[in-house]
Amino acid sequence: MSKKIWIGAIINRDLEIFSQILKFLKTNYANRLGIVSFLKKDGSFSKKYFRKKLKKYPISFLIVKLHSTPSNQIIYNAIKSYCPNIPLLNSLRSVSACESRRETFKFIQKNFKKLYFPKSYFSLKEAYEAAKDGIPIIIKLDVHNDPYISKYDRIIGIAKSKDELMNLIRNYDPTMLFFQEYLGKFDIVYKTYVIDKFAVCITAHNRLQSHKLSQIELIHIRVPIEKKFKRRIKQIGRKLGMTVFGVDYVVKNGKQYIVDVNDFPSFRNVPEAVSLISDYIYNLTSLNSGPIKIPTSVVWG
């Protein structure tokens, strides 16, 4: 009988989908796979507890999915120190970069010249100069998945002048903010979900426009993805070191503008995501015979 393969999990975000994935794996692959949580019962992380679990279980694969908090650096350092050679579903670089809108867009603007995205300003000075030139600026909190701030409250506002810009940020530390060119109003945001080679796109209502939407307005529709654009989205994942991720975009003048990148999103309204992610994890870690081999699409920290 084949030896059980152990997967380590450091997860405190979107627990609903992970619980479904866990249930699927237990139902279908209980004899081959085991999941070990490296978080304590109260949800906290301890290096001592982490090392204890590593000694007890021969972990072959690691999944990291976290809220954006400064304490995450302790987790990243522990992984680099105590298990640097264990492959991850998404690399530490991608998980860390996606905590910050600033770091995410710095990366994609530098590495993807054929993609469109709103012009980003990486300091208040840059944003101020743009506002002086009449460029409207959308101001967001830099943190991406803050557990204590709702999605609606992560957007500070839209400045159409330098005076509006300074007024909107008067109660904030500018280093904690992210500034981008405001492209205008869009009723629909396109959300693309990627699981290795699988990619699907659905429409979502733009939360900037309204917090109270009817059931009709909340309907999500699947739409096709242009082949070339799909390939470029997947390239974002490969370069950042992600195999399970999401990309949001809007369409302006016939061009797709990327407005968000998220490592391991919630996959809401993609019902087959649970089985696809579960099967993908199983196929990565459990081949029919011989030693475990991790495909090149899976990356290290």
Looking up residue 124, the CATH number of its domain turns out to be 3.30.1490
Mean local confidence (pLDDT), 231-243? 95
84 and 127 assigned to the same domain: no
pTM of the model: 0.89
Is residue 126 domain-resident?
A: yes
| Residues 246/191, Cβ–Cβ less than 8 Å | yes
Mean local confidence (pLDDT), 140-149? 91
Is residue 290 domain-resident?
A: no
Q: Specify the CATH number for the domain of residue 251.
A: 3.30.470.20
| Residues 8/49, Cβ–Cβ less than 8 Å | no
203 and 256 assigned to the same domain: yes
Is residue 296 domain-resident?
A: no
- Give 29's DSSP letter: H
135 and 206 assigned to the same domain: no
Q: Which of 181, 208, 232 is the last residue of a domain?
A: 181
211 and 107 assigned to the same domain: yes
153 and 57 assigned to the same domain: no
Is residue 242 domain-resident?
A: yes
Helices (H), 199-257: 227-240
177 and 48 assigned to the same domain: no
pLDDT for the residue 288:
38
| Residues 299/91, Cβ–Cβ less than 8 Å | yes
Which residues on neighbouring strands pair with residue 182, listed in sequence order? Answer: none
What the block records as the tokens of 107 is 């990366």
Query: pLDDT for 177-193, tens place per residue?
Result: 999 999 998 888 999 99
Is residue 140 domain-resident?
A: yes
pLDDT for the residue 216:
47
57 and 76 assigned to the same domain: yes
Of the pLDDT bands very low, low, confident and very high (cuts 50, 70, 90), residue 220 is confident
| Residues 9/37, Cβ–Cβ less than 8 Å | yes
**Closest residue by Cα to residue 53 from 65, 33, 39:** 39
Distance (Å) of CA 223 to CA 191, 250, 264, 271, 277: 10, 13, 21, 15, 21
Q: Which residue has the tokens 């019962």?
A: 41
pLDDT for the residue 30:
86
pLDDT for the residue 287:
55
Is residue 299 domain-resident?
A: no
Q: Specify the CATH number for the domain of residue 69.
A: 3.40.50
pLDDT for the residue 208:
52
**Four-CA torsion 281, 285, 288, 290, nearest 10 degrees:** 170
107 and 249 assigned to the same domain: yes
Q: Kindly provide the b/e burial profile for residues 232-268, where b requires at least 16 CB atoms within 10 angstroms of the residue's own CB.
A: bbbebbeebbbbbbbbbbbeeeeebbbbbbbbbbbbe
Query: pLDDT for 280-297, tens place per residue?
Result: 999 988 753 333 344 444
Query: pLDDT for 28-80, tens place per residue?
Result: 998 889 999 999 999 999 999 999 999 999 999 999 999 999 999 999 999 99
| Residues 34/88, Cβ–Cβ less than 8 Å | no
Q: What is the CA radius of gyration of the chain?
A: 20
49 and 23 assigned to the same domain: yes
C-alpha–C-alpha distance, residues 204 and 183, integer Å: 17
| Residues 43/13, Cβ–Cβ less than 8 Å | no
Is residue 16 domain-resident?
A: yes
The upper half-sphere exposure of residue 141, i.e. CA atoms within 13 Å in the direction of its Cβ, equals 16
29 and 157 assigned to the same domain: no
C-alpha–C-alpha distance, residues 20 and 14, integer Å: 11
193 and 205 assigned to the same domain: yes
| Residues 91/300, Cβ–Cβ less than 8 Å | yes
**Number of domains comprising the chain:** 3
126 and 275 assigned to the same domain: no
Mean local confidence (pLDDT), 229-243? 95
Mean local confidence (pLDDT), 129-149? 94
Parallel/antiparallel/unpaired status of strands 5-11 and 33-37: parallel
The domain of 78 spans 5-89+271-285
Is residue 31 domain-resident?
A: yes
